Amino acid sequence: MGKSQIKNNIRRLRFNADEMTQQQLADAVGASRQTIIAIEKGNYSPSLELAFRIAHTFSTPLEEVFLYEHIEIIKKKK
């Protein structure tokens, strides 16, 4: 729950795609506008299938749409 480590460039990609609206993207990938908003904000990590559909809509590779931020968790030994 909360912010995930998966970041995305959907907002930028929408802007580059003739300022595509969230609703247009939602219709194109078969999701609700609320889901697109949640993905953009990083509040929801989509399924692999939905992620591929989003990438396909922008005609870009998946790794250009979604990025994984690896955070090292250092455990201090007592």
Binding positions for another protein, rule: CB under 8 A: 1-3, 30-35, 38, 41-44, 46-47, 50
> Among residues 11 and 41, whose Cβ is nearest to another protein?
41
Residues recorded for the chain: 78
> Among residues 13 and 46, whose Cβ is nearest to another protein?
46
Token pair of 66, please?
Answer: 């979604």
Q: What is the smallest separation between the CB atom of 14 and another protein, expressed in angstroms?
A: 18
Burial of 47 (0-12, 13-18, 19+ CB in 10 A): exposed
Token pair of 45, please?
Answer: 């990590």
Q: What is the smallest separation between the CB atom of 74 and another protein, expressed in angstroms?
A: 26
